[in-house]
Amino acid sequence: MNKELVIVFVKNIKLGKVKTRLAKTIGNQGAFEVYSELVKVTERATKNLKADLRIYFSDAIIDTKWPNTYKTVQQGKDLGERMKNAFQKGFDDGYNRIVLIGSDLPDISEKHIRSGLENLKSNPVVFGPAEDGGYYLIGLNKMLPIIFKNKPWSQSNLLQKTLRELEDKHIDFTTLVTLNDIDTFEDLTASEFYKSNYKLQQRIEQLHD
């Protein structure tokens, strides 16, 4: 059995349910279009991984995404509990290096994921910091429930508080390069992901006409 596992958390792509901050500027349909493209980026980044792959949807399994891959639905009352349960399932199934990523990073690549897994050979925890103060990647080589409890999910001090708590408990960690996710229209228009995606630009412009 492969000892490495990559977990992808995916929000079901529904109008009005994805990229709600972005939707305030470009509308629900525009946010839907952007998130759909971001999921495609995540699919490409995970396509050729040697690690095993599991896809956790927020509400319901979509068969057309990640064909022939283990898929299930997230379980838990908040993001922390949902992530904890996914990690616990992986460790219970015998994996010893597990990385979890989201599905809304325009610049995520196989390289970032491989780097996360590689760092777990010498560190119990690895984070991929996001510019908004959260993280786009978390990796563990053993279960650490403390990471998932009583955290300010979706707040700008999430990673800072998490790292401070690990330091207080003398738990080693490492961090990867910082990436920016897309939460606002400014994030979108500044990204190479958007600048290089002419079809997406046209769709967003058409929605604004």
Measure the CA–CA gap between 199 and 204, rounded to whole angstroms. 9
Q: CA-CA distance, 184 to 203, in Å (whole number)? A: 17
Q: What is the pLDDT of residue 169?
A: 94
The predicted pLDDT at position 1 comes to 61
Cβ–Cβ under 8 Å, residues 45 and 108: yes
**What's the rounded Cα separation, in Å, for the pair 114 and 104?**
18
**Best CA proximity match to 125, nearest among 133, 137, 114, 134:** 137
Contact indicator for 4, 51 with CB cutoff of 8 Å: yes
Hey, what CATH topology would domain 4-203 get?
Spore Coat Polysaccharide Biosynthesis Protein SpsA; Chain A (3.90.550)
pTM, two decimals, is 0.93
End-to-end CA distance of the chain: give it in Å, rounded: 53
* Predicted pLDDT at 144: 96
Work out the angle at residue 137's Cα, subtended by the Cα atoms of residues 131 and 140, and round it to the nearest 5 degrees.
140
Q: Order of strands across the sheet with 174-175?
A: 70-73, 52-57, 4-10, 97-101, 135-140, 125-129, 174-175
Looking at the DSSP bridge assignments, the partners of residue 97 are 4
Taken as a whole, the chain contains a residue count of 209
- Residue 83 identity: M
Check if the beta carbon of residue 94 is closer than 8 Å to that of residue 142: no
- Tens place of pLDDT per residue across the chain (209 aa): 679 999 999 988 777 777 888 888 888 888 888 999 999 999 999 999 999 999 999 999 988 889 999 999 999 999 999 999 999 999 999 999 999 999 889 999 999 999 999 999 999 999 999 988 999 999 999 999 999 998 998 888 999 999 999 999 999 999 999 998 888 888 888 889 999 999 999 988 888 66
User: What DSSP assignment string belongs to 117-136?
Assistant: HHHTTT-SEEEEEBTTSSEE
